[in-house]
């Protein structure tokens, strides 16, 4: 009898201890549901949580980092706590059934990043609001969210990952905040409804590192809006020293571009596909013009390459079908490719009739890999630009 009484007492003690642990957030911890959801989503692992003692400082941490200025995230989103123990990463839709999602803070943890393919193929999502605590949008984060029509990106986001909005076919416009410094390749590929890109600072836009094809939303949208006004006559600010590659790629709303003294380089494909561009002013401060910089500018009739440029890169004027004249300075010592109407700098420039060269005949002959000119093109030597 005594043994049964003793066993009962032990059992009662264990039950009371378990209840106390649950009340304090011990045992499996209050984040166990979210962690389980994260694993089920297959988006991230949480080794940093596994190294912590169960329930360690959980209540104190949440009280310390709570930020009432951040919006609360939609209920049910899956997340993991970051290594700092104070912020978190959204890893998936979890149990959230909302079609309008807010990403701000979860259980007092500010969300700083949206994880790899976190909302992949969440086809019911229509609106996303990303709070100002978020600094990065991961690769494929909203890939194939085909019903996503509106997204608000917080002003702390610095990077947008590879394929982040790939095949978001209902997205009609996007606002890129000034905080963004890099956008991954194919980030906006197959966004077939995208027609408008909104920004508030041209200088910041020129500094964004676009990582390859279809990283720039303009390649789908074609129309750039600065402070809600369509950009047609673009004046680059004096503070800009370089125009990065792909900066205005396929921006068909542009009709003219003025580049200030101080800019030293124009990146690859910087103005490629600007089909409405009729004039561009390039200062002598520019020393480098990248490959395909003006390819596909089918309305451009003439261009003057500034003195100081030493090499003309391949496909610089490819498919400039209306280009009739080009002024080349005697500072040029090399063409990157050597075929005019094949794979060279002036490929498919079917209207080109005049090249104005500021140097002598001998200086022209000394240029390496200079294009083979067809009989319809005349070279004018010792040209003095106005």
pLDDT of 33 strictly over 90: no
Please give the C-alpha separations between residue 80 and each of 90, 112, 354, 369, in angstroms, as whole numbers. Answer: 7, 11, 63, 57
Question: What are residue 50's phi and psi, to 5 degrees?
Answer: -65, -20
Round to the nearest angstrom and report the end-to-end CA distance of the chain.
114
Neighbours of 24 (CB within 10 A): 11
Of residues 69 and 44, which shows the higher confidence score?
69
Query: 169 by DSSP, 3-state: which?
Result: coil
Whole-angstrom Cα distance, residue 118 to residue 140? 8
In terms of residues, how long is the chain? Answer: 386
Whole-angstrom Cα distance, residue 289 to residue 311? 8
Look at residue 287 in the predicted model and tell me its pLDDT: 96
For the stretch 320-376, pLDDT in tens is: 999 999 999 999 999 886 434 444 556 678 899 999 999 999 999 999 888 777 778
Closest CA to 99 of 51, 177, 170, 45: 170
Whole-angstrom Cα distance, residue 131 to residue 376? 59
CB under 8 A, 24+ apart: contacts of 83-91: 83/48, 85/61, 86/61, 86/110, 87/111, 87/112, 87/133, 88/112, 89/44, 89/113, 89/114, 89/115, 90/114, 90/115, 90/118, 91/37, 91/38, 91/41, 91/43, 91/44, 91/115, 91/118
Please give the C-alpha separations between residue 47 and each of 35, 40, 94, 134, in angstroms, as whole numbers. Answer: 11, 15, 19, 22
Q: Is the pTM value of this prediction over 0.85? A: no
Burial class (CB in 10 A: 0-12, 13-18, 19+), 19: exposed
Confidence of residue 54 (pLDDT cuts 50, 70, 90): very low
CB-based contacts of 259, cutoff 8 Å, min separation 6: 236, 243, 266, 280, 281, 282, 283, 286
% the chain with pLDDT above 70: 79
Q: Which domains are assigned to the chain?
A: 33-231 (3.80.10.10), 232-386 (3.80.10.10)
Confidence of residue 84 (pLDDT cuts 50, 70, 90): very high
Strand 78-81 relative to strand 88-92, pairing = antiparallel
Contact 205, 178 (CB under 8 A): no
pLDDT of 53 strictly over 90: no
Least confident of 81-85, 186-190, 192-196, 310-314: 310-314
% the chain with pLDDT above 90: 70
For the stretch 1-16, pLDDT in tens is: 444 444 444 444 444 3
Is the four-CA dihedral 280, 286, 287, 288 of positive or negative sign? Answer: negative
303 CB-side CA count, 13 A: 26
Closest CA to 55 of 82, 33, 27: 27
Tokens 């049910």 locate to 76
For the stretch 365-385, pLDDT in tens is: 999 888 777 778 899 999 998
Per-residue tokens: 94: 């979890």
For the stretch 268-287, pLDDT in tens is: 999 999 999 999 999 999 99
Look at residue 142 in the predicted model and tell me its pLDDT: 98
Strand 100-103 relative to strand 127-130, pairing = parallel
DSSP 336: S
For the stretch 210-231, pLDDT in tens is: 997 689 999 999 999 999 999 9
Q: Give me the chain's average pLDDT, please.
A: 84
């Amino acid at each position: 009898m005594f043994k049964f009484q003793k066993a009962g007492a032990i059992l009662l003690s264990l039950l009371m201890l378990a209840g106390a642990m649950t009340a304090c957030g011990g045992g499996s911890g209050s984040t166990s549901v979210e962690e389980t959801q994260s694993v089920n989503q297959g988006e991230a692992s949480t080794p940093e949580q596994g190294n912590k003692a169960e329930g360690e400082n959980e209540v104190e941490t949440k009280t310390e980092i709570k930020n009432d200025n951040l919006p609360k995230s939609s209920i049910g989103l899956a997340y993991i706590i970051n290594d700092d123990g104070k912020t978190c990463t959204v890893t998936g839709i979890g149990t959230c059934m909302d079609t309008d999602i807010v990403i701000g803070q979860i259980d007092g943890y500010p969300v700083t990043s949206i994880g790899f393919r976190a909302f992949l193929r969440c086809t019911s999502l229509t609106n996303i609001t990303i709070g100002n605590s978020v600094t990065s949008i991961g690769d494929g984060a909203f890939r194939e969210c085909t019903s996503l029509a509106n997204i608000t990106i917080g002003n702390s986001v610095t990077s947008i990952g590879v394929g982040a909005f790939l095949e978001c076919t209902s997205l009609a416009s996007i606002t890129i905040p000034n905080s963004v410094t890099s956008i991954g390749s194919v980030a906006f590929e197959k966004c077939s409804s995208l027609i408008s890109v909104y920004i508030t600072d041209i200088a910041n836009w020129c500094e964004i590192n676009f990582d390859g094809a279809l990283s720039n939303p303009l390649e789908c949208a074609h129309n750039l809006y600065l402070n809600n006004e369509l950009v047609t006559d673009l004046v680059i600010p004096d503070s800009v020293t370089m125009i990065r590659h792909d900066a205005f790629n396929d921006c068909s709303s542009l009709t003219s571009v003025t580049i200030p003294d101080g800019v030293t380089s124009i990146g690859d494909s910087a103005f490629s596909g600007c089909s409405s561009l009729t004039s561009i002013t390039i200062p002598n401060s520019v020393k480098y013009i990248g490959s395909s910089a003006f390819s596909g500018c089918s309305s451009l009739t003439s261009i003057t390459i500034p003195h100081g440029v030493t090499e003309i890169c391949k496909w610089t004027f490819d498919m400039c079908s209306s280009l009739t004249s080009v002024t080349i300075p005697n500072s040029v010592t090399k063409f990157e490719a050597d075929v005019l109407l094949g794979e060279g700098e002036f490929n498919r420039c079917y209207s080109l009739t005049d090249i104005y060269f500021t140097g002598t005949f001998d200086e022209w002959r000394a240029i390496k890999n200079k294009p083979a000119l067809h009989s319809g093109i005349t070279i004018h030597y010792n040209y003095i630009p106005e």
